[in-house]
Amino acid sequence: MIHLRYQALLITGAILCTVSTVGAGDLGVLNARLRKYLDLRRAEFDQIPVERKEALQQVSQYICRSLASGDPARLTFICTHNSRRSHMGQLWALASAAYYEVGNVETFSGGTEATAFNPRAVAAMERAGFEAVKGAESTNPKYQVRLGAEYPAQICFSKVYYAEPNPKKDYCAIMTCAQADKSCPMVRGASVRVSVPYDDPKSADGTAAETATYDERCAQIARETLYIFSLVNNQNDGQNGSDKLAGKGGGRCQTPSNKP
């Protein structure tokens, strides 16, 4: 259940800045399919290589620092075309924050150039449990994407990473493809830059392996994004109930471990 009367615990998507709230202990914001999908990915953390865990821990540490200082943790996922992997990262970060009840987290995506949210990537996210409705735009359609029936739609479309409504400063830039990582050794306005490149599922477009390849990449990004939020622990930290709802202090962050 979403309690709109609480204004402090924000889990905000990249485009639509609708304030929504997840009550403490309430995972109802996630539909049953998404919740089951994330349960499965949570059991796969041992599949993440140690070197990737080290990079992912940099993101969790940024989230912890931001929340501890009372600031929103802003995550911008960046790839070249903002068409596949970066959108997956943005949406899985949103879902992972809801799954672990981590408040005051804002997720975004962008590219070094704008194209469109690829329909194959959209389909993979739908198979995982997201609910998506395509807009009427012909070249760069805007998709309304939801975590569940009660959750406000996130309006997802392709854009460059510094375009509105993405943050201009004080955010963590997560580089999801090797090309963008190489092209942008410095990301304007980012306080932290982390490279976690993923193989491009585009390589399987039009082949018999297309669906399996997109599903594999979707699962990998979900698994690793969920791992980030598993390291951010907002529970049992001695805060009072209102502070926990507000996400004040960001809760207690678990000590990173490279063990599976």
Measured distance CA(177)–CA(64) in Å, rounded: 25
Mean pLDDT of the region 181-192 = 83
pLDDT-based confidence at residue 149 (cuts at 50, 70, 90): confident
H/E run at residue 73: strand 73-79
Residue 18 has pLDDT above 90, yes or no: no
The pLDDT of residue 210? 98
Residue 235 has pLDDT above 70, yes or no: no
The secondary structure of residue 46, as a DSSP letter, is G
Percent of the chain with pLDDT over 70: 78
DSSP of 116-153: ---HHHHHHHHHHT-EEEE-S-SSSPPEEEESSTTSPP
The tens digit of pLDDT for each residue in 64-91 reads 999 999 999 999 999 999 999 999 999 9
The mean pLDDT of the chain is 83
Architecture of domain 32-233: 3-Layer(aba) Sandwich (3.40)
Mean pLDDT of the region 173-202 = 89
Instruction: Let me know: does 143 contact 157? Beta carbons within 8 Å.
Output: yes
The tens digit of pLDDT for each residue in 151-168 reads 889 999 999 999 999 999
The pLDDT of residue 230? 95
- The structure's pTM equals 0.83
Mean pLDDT of the region 100-113 = 94
Instruction: Let me know: does 10 contact 102? Beta carbons within 8 Å.
Output: no
Whose tokens are 């490149």? That residue is: 197
The tens digit of pLDDT for each residue in 239-260 reads 433 343 334 433 445 544 444 4
Q: Give the start-to-end residue ranges of the domains of the chain.
A: 32-233
Give alpha helix (H) positions in the chain: 32-42, 50-68, 85-99, 119-128, 178-183, 210-230, 241-246
The secondary structure of residue 170, as a DSSP letter, is S
Count Cα neighbours of 59 within 13 Å in the Cβ-side half-sphere: 28
Measured distance CA(100)–CA(103) in Å, rounded: 9
